[in-house]
Structure 1
Amino acid sequence: MEPIHARYPWREESRQAVGEAGVDLSAVVAEDDAVVSRGVERVVWALEDGTVGDPHDVDRIELLSYPVARVLVSLVDEHVLTRKYAQAEATAARERFTADFADTTEFKSASTPRLTLPELLSEFDLSGPVRAVDGAVGDGSAVVSDGQSREFRVEVGTYLDLASDRRGDEWRLVNRALSDGEVLIDGEELVALLRQAVRHRVDDGLPLSVPDAIADELAAEAEELRERLSELDLTRDIDTVVPELFPPCMKHLLDRVQQGEHLEHHSRFAIASFLTSIGMTTDEIVDIFQVNPGFGEEATRYQVDHIRGATSPTDYSPPACATMQSYGDCIGKDDICTEEINESHPLNYYEHRLDEEDEDDLTDWREGCEDGDAEGAEAEDAEAENEDAETEDAEAGDAEA
Structure 2
Amino acid sequence: MRVVVTTESRCLRTPDARVWIHAGPSYPNWSRYLAAFRSVRVVARVRDVPEVPGGASRVDGEGVEVWPVPHYQGPAEYLRRQGAVRRAVTAAADAADAVILRVPSPVGSLLARARERQGLPYALEVIGDPYDVFAPGTLRHPLRPVLRHLTTRRLRHQCRTAVGAAYVTEHYLQRRYPVREGAVSTHVSSVNLPPDAYVGQPRVVDGPRGAGTVVSVGMLAQLYKGVDTLLAALARLAGPGLRPRLVHLGDGRFRPELERLADRLGVADRVTFAGVVSTGEAVRRHLDAADLFVMPSRTEGLPQALIEAMARGLPAIGTTVGGIPEVLGIDDLAPPDDPAALATAIGRMLADPARMTAASARNLARSRDFSADTLAHRRTAYYRAVAAATAQGGHRPVLHATG
TM superposition score category, shorter chain reference: under 0.3
Bigger share in strand: 2
Higher relative contact order (CA 8 A, sep 6+): 2
TM-score, normalised via structure 1 length: 0.27
TM-score, normalised via structure 2 length: 0.27
